[in-house]
Homo-oligomer: A and B are copies of this chain.
Amino acid sequence: MLDLKTYLSRRARLVEEALERLLPAEDEFPASLYRAMRYSIFAGGKRLRPALVLASTEAVGGSLHDAMNTACAFECVHTYSLIHDDLPAMDNDDLRRGMPTCHKAFGEATAILAGDALLTIAFEMVADSPVADKERLLRVVKELAHAAGCMGMIKGQALDMEAEGIEELSFPLIEDIHIHKTGALITSSVRCGAIIGGADTPTLEHLTEYGHSIGLAFQIMDDILDVEGSEEEMGKKVGSDDRNKKATYPALMGIGESKRLATELVERAMSALSTLDERAEPLRALARFIVERKC
């Protein structure tokens, strides 16, 4: 069995080396913009989305080299969404991964621009990929924009905001929020890796099912960790969902039932990979990681 910790940290290093090369240098003018972009990108995330892009490409026989720009693009989109979600007008968070949030460190205006810039550069990275088949790259642009946009991640954030303050949250509404807010980008990272690797239609469908399942499992675990996790391990205040009356699984169905659901989703993800060979081992390990993680 794959040693996931070593695997993830090696992949994270590869992705960080590529981001180092793809992002503008810190000392260029206007320095604060470029510093803010790098500050948030290099704040030490798990690099889960890029790992999924790369693992998915490998699972269908594609090359890491072809998929690296797209992997970096997903990390840029993810980081932009964190910067904007943390803004005072949104979730108003001061800490992220144990460090001051972007607007706390650089001011609100620069944080807004740094988020905008990371979102924008993501599409440039995809379009600039060293991939001969331009049609595949164009599909990735379309998938990424759709998953990140007003029918995907942004819709999820808007739903989440509208749901705050609703006293009786229904299960379908919570699921709708999560499928869009985190699920869309996670599913898309799996799909885009497969598209770059040249997956055929049935395989792409299996991987989409895998992506849906781990995306939802990931968010449920996030909600659970907000209740059970330690502030030290999480690098941010825990219990904030409860204080903010956020729509979460534990609030609706309790911790035990939420854990059971997450485990069931990961099993479903594993089944979706049943027709794939040993090259899908990293995807299997990533699915396990999602329910076993502590932060």
Q: Which residues of A contact B (CB under 8 A)?
A: 24, 29-30, 32-34, 37, 80, 84, 87, 89-90, 107-110, 112-113, 115-117, 119-124, 126-128, 134-135, 137-139, 141-142, 144-146, 148-151, 154-155, 157-159, 161-162
Report the minimal beta-carbon distance from A253 to chain B, rounded to whole angstroms.
23
Q: Do the beta carbons of A154 and B109 come within 8 Å of each other?
A: no
Contacts A84-B112, A112-B112 aside, 5 further interface pairs with beta carbons under 8 A come to A30-B158, A32-B158, A32-B162, A34-B150, A123-B123
| Alpha-carbon distance A158/B29, docked complex (angstroms) | 9
Known: A30-B162, A112-B87, A161-B109. A154 touches B117 (CB 8 A): yes
Total copies of this chain within the assembly:
2
Q: Is B145 a contact partner of A123 (Cβ separation < 8 A)?
A: yes
Nearest CB in chain B: distance from A28 CB, A: 9
Contact status B154-A120, CB under 8 Å: yes
A166, chain B: closest CB distance, angstroms: 12
Q: Are A113 and B154 in contact (CB under 8 A)?
A: yes
For this complex, 16 residue pairs linking A to B, each with C-beta atoms less than 8 Å apart, are: A29-B159, A30-B158, A34-B150, A89-B112, A112-B112, A113-B158, A116-B154, A120-B145, A123-B123, A123-B141, A124-B142, A126-B141, A127-B139, A127-B145, A134-B134, A137-B138
